[in-house]
Amino acid sequence: MRKFNVVSALMLTCFVISSAPAQAQTRVALAESYAYLVNASRVIRGKSPVANKTSIAWANRRKTRAVKDAMLREIRVSQSYFSSASSNNACQAYAYLKNTRYRLFEGRSQSHSGLVNTCLNMDEPTYRQEIDKDLSDLFGSLR
């Protein structure tokens, strides 16, 4: 019976790990993710992006929960803009959003212009679906 419990616990652990996005392990990853998300929120609303170092400095002066709460606010503020944004603004935001996700969940980032080009080569329903999934995953992981 003990062997079954150990195997069951191991299988459950593997399922939980594979079904949920990983969390950022460092304050640096959280601060950099915040910077990407701020710019995603700004460009989808038609505003100019800000220097990442400005947002990173802001995040580094705050507690982890405050940064996560600020990220949740950015998601809430920008969500309604995605449905009506121009493809250029949506693809700029897509790139920032992808890097938010990559940095927070995978500890990496990709070229902004490469991600914009990827988005511009997709049809609108496809990139909007990816944006919706990324926003949902981020929202769920930050609560």
| pLDDT mean over 70-84 | 93
- The residue among 18 and 56 whose pLDDT is bigger is 56
The pTM of the full predicted model, rounded to 2 decimals, is 0.82
d(CA 128, CA 133): 9
Which one, of 84, 87, 110, lies nearest residue 97 by Cα?
110
Q: What is the pLDDT of residues 40-51, one digit of tens each?
A: 999 999 999 999
pLDDT band at 83 (very low <50, low <70, confident <90, very high): confident
Lowest mean per-residue pLDDT among 1-15, 21-35, 51-65, 81-95: 1-15
Q: Is the C-alpha dihedral spanning 92, 66, 77, 20 positive or negative?
A: positive
Q: Which residue is associated with the tokens 């594979």?
A: 18
Contact 90, 44 (CB under 8 A): yes
Q: What pLDDT, on a 0 to 100 scale, did the predictor assign at position 23?
A: 52
Q: What pLDDT, on a 0 to 100 scale, did the predictor assign at position 25?
A: 61
d(CA 142, CA 89): 24
